[in-house]
Amino acid sequence: MEFKYGVHQLTVRFAGEIALGNMKGVLSKEAVERIKQSEQHVKDIVAANKTVYGINTGFGILANTPISPEDTVTLQHKILQSHSVGVGEHIPAEVAKLMMITKVQALAQGFSGVQLQTLERIIWHIENDIIPVVPSKGSVGASGDLAPLAHLFLPLIGLGQVFYKGTPHDTHEVLPKLHISPLKLGPKEGLALINGTQFILSFAVKAVQRMHNCLEAADIIGAMSLEALTGTKAPFDERLHALRPYAGSKLVAQRLRLLLKDSAIMESHIDCGRVQDPYSLRCMPQVHGASRNAWLHLKELTEIELNAVTDNPIILSAEDTISGGNFHGQPLALPLDYACFAAAEIGNVSDRRCYLLLEGKWGLPMLLMKDVGLNSGFMIPQYTTAALVTENKTLCFPASADSIPTSLGQEDHVSMGSVSGRKLNQVIDNLEYILAIELLSACQAIEFRRPYKSSALLEYAHDYVREFVGFAAEDRIFAEDINQVATLIKDFSFVDNVNAFAASKDMVLNDSFDAFAL
């Protein structure tokens, strides 16, 4: 399947498929014509010596400094060099690849005055997996992600580094091996390449994918913990949630009803006399559901940004250019911070369920092991969830609440959305481990309910984990178990396999909630 840049609507799913090589991104005839026309507009501006920011002026506070026609090309080369000031570890190659994909989508709409060969070269990098090395720190999220984007496009002019055969190499060593020559940038191109939100956006794309997987996993794992703790499904009644109809809460309640359907464990304690479960069990629709709503908001805004033009100035024609602020990262910075809190809360409530499983109540052995004293059981894995939850809390300060003026006050309000995007993915890193520990604990606990069985779906989830990690009759190096189960969360295989099993039984866990799908 082909995706036509600048013509088709880019979605989170499509961006991910192109990055994985499962979908080919191409320039259609229509896009090529628009790109060529926009390039000609810039040539006409230079020929007429009409003053337009970034074409024949300096940048930022130097906007009023004129640049001679013969220096307009040199200016674009220099901007990539001068703005390459990133520091810190490099970002994952997949995120850098997403930056290139999303930049092509923005430039291919024909409002930036770039050369066709420049876009073709970026697409070549994507298709051949020659991905630039981009430092993780240095963007303030306005005027665009200047530093990371400058590093991203240094290889176009033969500078910087690229991942080649999986490891970083100097670009000037790699391109000759592939018989590729550096490009000579045209007027406005350097500015068009570094203006935009593609660093923030690409971290948002990854967060939308990863957080969706965690939310799906949290419902399944939470249902398993509920079963192990002989909780009730009454709080998930559809009639209750119709009285407070938040979409996220309704979805989670529906999923829990289906996940617990026909459970023999649930039936075994129907008359136990327990009035109410703790909040971490009873309020899963409200807590998980609120995080679902935050995720949906981020997804919707991310997909607007995926199809937006975030350059400055915008070239409508040789006579009509607009200098504005579409590069400002605030529209994504705020929902990224909101999603950060939402992801952290899923970890908070998961840790509480881990703790409940250890208390030795409702028929479970203390610390989920019969012979404790000599053995510590599952006491210490919960220390790890407590540590990760606290670390996530420290990451919840909203980066978008801060702003530091740059460019001698010309850029006097910035979004810091680049920090928001990186922090959200750090929180998700921790969340995946927290969920893995709850899943490990729930699988251990549910075996103490035998001979009763849970629902078909939850028994499948339990058995799937048991293919990788066995029951613990005594202490062992639990870090190995945690890492093994965390891999099942991180690579989406746990959720994907449970969903595939549900589909084989004609059960759709997200029925009637298409907006929450990727």
Q: What is the CATH number of the domain that holds 116?
A: 1.10.275.10
Kindly state whether residue 407 falls inside one of the protein's structural domains.
Answer: no
Distances (CA, A) of 431 to 76, 111, 259, 382, 466: 42, 40, 22, 13, 21
Residues 240, 126, single domain; the answer is: no
Query: Does the residue 109 lie in any domain?
Result: yes
Q: What is the pTM of this model?
A: 0.97
**In the prediction, which pLDDT does 200 show?**
98
What's the pLDDT tens digit per position in 353-379?
999 999 999 999 999 999 999 999 999
- pLDDT above 70: percentage of residues in the chain: 99
Same domain, 117 and 215: no
Catalytic residue among 5, 53, 355, 383: 53
Predicted confidence at residue 97, as pLDDT, reads 98
Whether residues 383 and 460 share a domain: the answer is: yes
Could you tell me if residue 412 is inside a domain?
no
Low-confidence ranges of the chain (pLDDT < 70): 61, 511-512
For the stretch 39-42, contacts whose Cβ atoms lie closer than 8 Å and that sit 24 or more positions apart, written own/partner, are: 39/113, 39/114, 39/115, 39/116, 39/186, 40/318, 41/113, 41/315, 41/316, 41/317, 41/318, 42/113, 42/186, 42/187, 42/188, 42/315, 42/318
Residue 348 sits in the same domain as residue 388 = yes
183 lies in the same domain as 216: no
Go through 1-35 and write b for each residue having 16 or more CB atoms within 10 A of its CB, e for each that does not.
eebbbbbbebbbebbbbbbeeebebebbeebbebb
For residues 158 and 101, membership in a common domain is answered with yes
Query: Is 318 contained in some domain?
Result: no
Among the three residues 196, 228, 246, which one is the final residue of a domain in this structure? 196
Q: Which domain holds residue 63?
A: 2-196
CATH number for the domain spanning 463: value is: 1.20.200.10
Do the domain assignments include residue 494?
Answer: yes
- Last residue within a domain, chosen from 196, 229, 261: 196
Do residues 103 and 122 touch, judged by C-beta distance below 8 A? Answer: yes
Residues 288 and 397 in one domain: yes
184/255 same-domain check = no
Residue 397: inside a domain? yes
Residues 376, 13: Cα–Cα separation, whole Å: 44
Tell me which DSSP letter residue 71 carries. Answer: G
How many other C-beta atoms can be found within 10 angstroms of the C-beta atom of residue 377?
Answer: 23
| pLDDT value, residue 512 | 67
In a domain, 113, yes or no: yes
The pLDDT value recorded for residue 21 is 96
Residues 368 and 275 in one domain: yes
* Residue 158 shares a structural domain with residue 31: yes
Mean pLDDT of the chain: 95
Considering its fold, how many domains does the chain have in total? 2
Task: Provide the residue type at 231 as one letter.
Answer: G
State whether 154 and 250 are in the same domain: no
Same domain, 397 and 252: yes
53 counts as catalytic: yes
Last residue within a domain, chosen from 196, 227, 261: 196
Domain membership flag for residue 410: no
Neighbour count for residue 461 (Cβ, 10 Å): 27
Q: Provide, for the chain, the percentages of residues in helix, strand and coil under a 3-state DSSP scheme, each rounded to the nearest 5.
A: 60, 5, 35
